[in-house]
Amino acid sequence: MSNTAGKVIKCKAAIAWEAGKPLVIEEVEVAPPQAMEVRIKIIFTSLCHTDVYFWEAKGQKPVFPRIFGHEAGGIVESVGEGVTDLAPGDHVLPVFTGECKDCAHCKSEESNMCNLLRINTDRGVMIGDGKSRFSINGKPIYHFVGTSTFSEYTVVHVGCVAKINPLAPLDKVCVLSCGISTGLGATLNVAKPPKGSSVAIFGLGAVGLAAAEGARIAGASRIIGIDVNPRRFIEAKKFGVTEFVNPKDHDKPVQEVLAEMTDGGVDRSIECTGNVDAMISAFEYISLSHGWGVAVLVGVPHKDAVFKTHPMNVLNERTLKGTFFGNYKPRSDIPGVVEKYMNKELELEKFITHEVPFSEINKAFDYMLKGDSLRCIIRMGE
């Protein structure tokens, strides 16, 4: 790959020309990486609900034409000036948020909210010079969350690239770039359920099931899944979920159902839907009779949503926490999550429900829109 270093690469990319319209595979030009940037050959990528949300452009600033994609595995093709910890041939996962290692957040053990490289969904250019590295006939094609993995080659800031074990299968570990790590970390890093504890998971999509996987790894004895889609329940058993509640099956609030099931509440609850009512339920019905309950909010609510609860719910020693990307620092921590998979502690295969060649990438969108898939792997170069 070194013979392309410093040169423009022409390759195929899936372009979103406008909101909600099928992606179009076209030839793009990918410029060489500039200072503190890395050009990566994408081998496998997967579709996350966040890609679909911004492709539909509902409720946020539309930025088109754009190359979506932010869960992927690839190989470094070349590096820009100043990059010292990555080299051509390294196996990597690009990540939608970053770790500059210099700001107060990166130096703190308690935060992964990097000042420089925190996710920015509106920015469609590189932060170094404010320009796109993608173009067609001289016209820029915009980036998405600094990754744009629906292209055979992409350029990413070095702070958003995790170097991983070269023996790790990229078609499996690519899903760790976003949702799976978010849910897993919400449980293992934030909720931290003790062995033998009870855990409630609100929402059994990919993030919620990853949270359940975290509870399984932690040794929780009861993992209760809450979802309005009964099809999720069969799948959830593979992730250690022991009991299920469909709010539609009951004529009382789900929190009352849970309180009856658990003799007063669970030890930990993890909310993965973004529904503010579910958030309130997740908080108010942890350990009603004890003081050690912890609720973790993972789902992103509507911008106008308001979380309301009585102060006594806090004074009674319940704890409410939030999390971003499962509290993982991309460069420092994600290689270790890959090792959990390599050591057979973490099972990733069960998250992957579909595979398609790059030429059929729009099928991945169809599967997700129909609710049929957790993760669809897209094989680049096909």
Instruction: Report, as residue numbers or ranges, the catalytic residues.
Output: 48-50, 70-71, 100, 103, 106, 114, 118, 178, 375
**How far apart are the C-alpha atoms of 92 and 84, rounded to whole Å?**
15
**Using alpha carbons only, what angle is made at residue 348 by residues 381 and 95, rounded to the nearest 5 degrees?**
60
Tokens 């390599």 belong to 342
Return the structure tokens found at 247: 């709010």
CA atoms within 13 A on the CB side of 343: 8
**Cα–Cα distance, 132 to 118 (Å, whole number):** 18
The values of phi and psi at residue 64, to 5°, are -140, 155
C-alpha angle 142/357/66, rounded to 5°? 10
**Beta pairing partners, 281:** none
- Confirm if 368 and 52 have CB atoms less than 8 A apart: yes
SS3 107: helix
CB proximity list for 129: less than 8 A, separation 6 or greater: 34
Q: How far apart are CA 247 and CA 182, in angstroms?
A: 25
Q: Are 32 and 8 in contact (CB under 8 A)?
A: yes
Distances (CA, A) of 162 to 82, 96, 219: 17, 11, 28
Length of the chain: 382
- Residue given tokens 């049929």 in the structure block: 372
Whether the CA torsion 206, 325, 322, 48 is positive or negative: it is negative
Going by C-alpha positions, the residue among 79, 296, 282 that lies closest to residue 193 is 296
What is the C-alpha to C-alpha distance for residues 210 and 298, in angstroms, rounded to an integer?
12
Question: In this structure, what are the phi and psi dihedrals at residue 221, rounded to the nearest 5 degrees?
Answer: -90, -30
What's the CA gap between 142 and 67, in Å, rounded?
A: 6
